[in-house]
Amino acid sequence: MYSIQNGQSVLVVWGSTPAPETFQNMIEKLRKLTGPLGNVRVENVDRLTMGSHPTSSFDIVLSGVIFPQSISHTTELLGELLRVVKPKGRIILQEVTVQNANGTHLKTAEKLQSVLRITGLTNIQEATLVSLTNAEIQTLKDLLNIAVNVNVVEIQCQKPDFEVGSSSKLSFAKQSPQVQPSVNVAAVWKLDDTVDDDIETIDENNLLDEEDLKKPDPASLRVCGTTGKRKACKNCSCGLAEELAAEGKPAAAPPAQTKTSACGNCYLGDAFRCASCPYLGMPAFKPGEKIQLTDQQLKADV
């Protein structure tokens, strides 16, 4: 029966509740074949993922082989079966198929084989018809709520001799020779004098004559008081303000500062104001005029 040997681990997946006698007879036959060293586990298809079976823990998986064969082998279900079966382990399944899948949720035998290939299974055998009585076929049609003619096919396939997602080194891969750094790598950063000796260059010592090298007289650099009346400039830095203070002459008082904004153009009107100016929308005003802004105007727009 399915070439099951002594000591193997077998997983039986069933869908709709089978007849107790049929179910019990199948399990007893499997346990006799596996012997005391083997293991037979039974799982309902809806609770398969809840069983938390370890990866690669079964030699053979029997899915939907107990009447009624109501399991639809989707890529998700096949992926879980592929996970729990050992490498080179076998998956034997039975499923209800139709000749033409138009208008039904059932697959054709060719479509079922295609799904097995997409899942990653190998050594997929041709689908064989399972012999059923007319009463059993009618039971399946009533259970699946379909009116078209159906068949039950059995397909055997195998998991590849490696785990899903594993990798291996290719034997024919050539190792790239290690490239030694060039001895002239340091020369890349070497700076060479590329100036042609035939090109005439300007002597920097001839750029200034003796007059340019003379230290100027501080008095000749004074600007304040050279245009008439001696009067210190605003923020005088030439020393005239100190001289006038020493002579007892009061220095001119600096002019009153005009209140300006950051850009200095706010008082001119909206045409001269920035986009974020708090004075936008207000009429022009005189420089230094006190303007009262509301709290809302002081908040910057976001």
Q: Is 224 annotated as a binding residue?
A: yes
Q: Is 157 annotated as a binding residue?
A: no
Torsion region of 75: left, alpha or beta (phi above 0 gives left; psi -120 to 50 gives alpha): alpha
Phi, psi of 59 (to 5 degrees): -80, -35
Q: What are the residues facing 107 on neighbouring strands?
A: 97
CA separation for the pair 280, 123 (Å, rounded): 81
Kind and range of the H or E element at 34? helix 20-34
Those residues with Cβ within 8 angstroms of residue 143's Cβ, 6 or more apart along the chain or in another chain: 16, 68, 70
Closest CA to 151 of 165, 167, 131, 174: 131
State how far Cα 197 lies from the chain centre. Answer: 59
Angle at 263 between CA 260 and CA 267, to 5 degrees: 50
Q: Is 238 annotated as a binding residue?
A: yes
Taking only Cα atoms into account, the Rg of the chain, rounded to an integer number of angstroms, comes to 49
Closest CA to 111 of 157, 73, 67: 73
Binding residues for [4Fe-4S] cluster, by number, are 263, 266, 274, 277
Binding residues for [2Fe-2S] cluster, by number, are 224, 233, 236, 238
Binding residues, by number, are 224, 233, 236, 238, 263, 266, 274, 277
